[in-house]
């Protein structure tokens, strides 16, 4: 069974760093791109970036370029999303999603809620 399991909720202070994870199982992790999606409270879905775990080729949305870093470790079938200095405006739910083919993002993680508050 294909699964994407994300790390648990985080509560952080502004200026702190954070790295959240998305672990894939039940399929060959290196054969499908993994995307990261932000959903701010009560708002829509926004693409942040997408990574090919096979060769770490990464593309970012202009809105998130330089604000976050997406990476992957194929030895542990895990993709990561990290911040070096969080802001209150980073408070949101973050999802990872597997791109099976073309426009089919077929499996999604359960989401990681990040709360940034002083």
Partner 1 sequence: QSALTQPASVSGSPGQSVTISCTGTSSDVGGYNFVSWYQQHPGKAPKVMVYDVSNRPSGVSNRFSGSKSGNTASLTISGLQAEDEADYFCNSYTTSGTLGWVFGGGTKLTVL
The single residue listed with the structure tokens 């699964």 is 3
45 binds partner 1 (CB under 8 A): yes
Instruction: Compute the distance between CA of residue 81 and CA of residue 36 in angstroms, rounded to an integer.
Output: 8
47 binds partner 1 (CB under 8 A): yes
108 binds partner 1 (CB under 8 A): yes
61 binds partner 1 (CB under 8 A): yes
Per 3-state DSSP, what percentage of the chain is helix, strand, and coil (rounded to 5)? 5, 55, 40
Q: How far is the CB of 16 from partner 1 (least distance, A)?
A: 26
Q: How far is the CB of 112 from partner 1 (least distance, A)?
A: 11
Q: How far is the CB of 71 from partner 1 (least distance, A)?
A: 16
Positions in the binding site for partner 1 (CB under 8 A):
35, 37, 44-47, 49-50, 59-62, 95, 97, 102-106, 108-111
């Amino acid at each position: 069974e294909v699964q994407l399991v994300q790390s648990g909720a985080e509560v952080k202070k502004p200026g702190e760093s954070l790295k959240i994870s998305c672990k894939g199982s039940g399929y060959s992790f290196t054969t499908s791109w993994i995307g990261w999606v932000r959903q701010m409270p009560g708002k829509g879905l926004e693409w942040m970036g997408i990574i090919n775990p096979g060769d770490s080729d990464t593309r970012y949305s202009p809105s998130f370029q330089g604000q976050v870093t997406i990476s992957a470790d194929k030895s542990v079938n895990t993709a990561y999303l990290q911040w070096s200095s969080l802001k209150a405006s980073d408070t949101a739910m973050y999802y990872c999603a597997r791109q099976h083919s073309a426009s089919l993002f077929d499996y999604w993680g359960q989401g990681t809620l990040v709360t940034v508050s002083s």
